[in-house]
Structure 1
């Protein structure tokens, strides 16, 4: 694939190529990051001044207003089309979840589950004091001390760098 340089892109902008060559360069520009960078680098002050003269001062406001109008036109009113269907489907989903929860609670499924796994809770209660005894009580204090020392090192390092720069 042939890449173009800044001079060729300047000639392209000035319209010095045929329509066929210009179309080829435009297509190439869309897919080639290297040539896009070369094209952008070829833009000079004169081009910027021409662009400023061509673009009206209220361009940004006009575009934003157009986008707002399109956005408001694209949102369907509530209760119409797919919005209504989505809200109905959501209502059905929540109703089904509520009915299922009430049925399981009334049938005792949750109670059976809790009774079946109550031995897990008892095991945890027995092991809890053993775990607490193994934990280092000063753990949080150690973290704070180490963090404080790290901050002091950073501050000292910054001061040393500033002193080195001032001496140069």
Structure 2
């Protein structure tokens, strides 16, 4: 990985680089912790030459005035009253709690009526024929044919005597 020199970061801090070079250095900062430390050293060394805010409070006030607010005299208690309480304004059948209770009631009804038990036995009956239709393996087939052939040879020998 290519690292940049302290002098190069000094140029970056003093805004002495082209836009393309600045973008290259900024992209590098995202991936290199070593260069980030060198950059922070360059910023600290040039801290006095960086522009300072003449009045911090005035700056904050100007920024807050730019933020759109419909009523500037709103306090936190009034903010709570502005947020609609949507769950209490809905009819009973549209509330989340109603749906949870309905699902719980349906589950209990199906459990006690035996619907789940009959579904389980039905699923078991579907699986049983699959298990019973097990075909013999190739090895078993070869062994069975070999024994049948040997039996036929023994019968032929017995018939000759």
Higher helix share: 1
TM-score (norm. length: structure 2):
0.40
The structure with the larger Rg is: 2
